[in-house]
Structure 1
Amino acid sequence: MINRCLPGISLTLIALSLTLTAGCSSRQHYSPSGGGDACYAKALPTVGEGGLAWGSSLNMARQKSLNNCMRYAGRSGGTPATCQVVLAKCR
């Protein structure tokens, strides 16, 4: 009995997966780098790693890059208190 049902179950699962995949194909996907945001900023500390961030506005990108800079500088043994935005642009 199980052997007779197996082809029907397999076809049902394939059809279901194709339906779900087709439903997602029209959605817009953004890259992890913030490809959907128009502005970016880079902040660097005196010593240690800096931070690059994307944002929908210049101010948002600046703030996010400063936050990233402080986080990464602290983790890399740098000086988080010296983080400064060195580049900020919008596309």
Structure 2
Amino acid sequence: MTGTTARRCSSWGLLSLLAISLTLTAGCSGKTATTRYAASSLGDSCYAKALPTVGEGGLAWGSTLNMARKKSLNNCIRYAGRSGGTPDTCKVVLAECKN
């Protein structure tokens, strides 16, 4: 008798968890997808990319070419340091403005 009751309770519990997870998933699926970097590039038309000799580089947007270069260099220094690279070798390798 105890084994049958335990099986019924565990199956109800599993069904409840499944129903809850499906409900939560259905609630999130109606949301529209947003671009991750849309907010940072809406008003900024210039971008720059800086790379170190070893490690990760940095890409940044700015309202002017000089601002984009400065931000990308700062990002490069930060990311190269975190990835075990050489932050003091960061150089801007690409910088341009969109029309």
Q: Root-mean-square deviation (CA), in Å?
A: 1.3
What SS does structure 1 have at the residue aligned with 2:41?
coil
Task: Tell me what 2:57 maps to.
Answer: 50
> Which structure 2 residues correspond to residues 1-80 of structure 1 after superposition, within 5 A?
31-80=38-87
Aligned length in residues: 62
Alignment-mate amino acid for residue 62 of structure 1: R
Q: Which residue of 2 aligns with 1:12?
A: none
Q: 5+ residue gaps in structure 1?
A: 1-29
| Structure 2 stretches lacking a partner, 5+ long | 1-36
Deviation (angstroms), 1:34: 2.1
- Mapped to 2, the partners of 1:82 and 1:32 lie a distance apart of 30
**1:36: Cα distance to partner?**
2.0
Identical-residue share of aligned pairs (%): 81
Q: Which runs of 4+ in 1 moved over 4 A?
A: none
Q: What amino acid sits opposite 2:38 in the alignment?
A: S
TM-score (norm 1): 0.65
- 2:88 equivalent among 72, 76, 81: 81
CA distance in 2 between partners of 1:50 and 1:32 (Å): 21
Q: Give the TM-score, by structure 2 length.
A: 0.60
| Larger Rg over CA atoms | 2
1:51-91 CA distance string (max 9 Å, x none): 00000000000000000000000000000000000000000
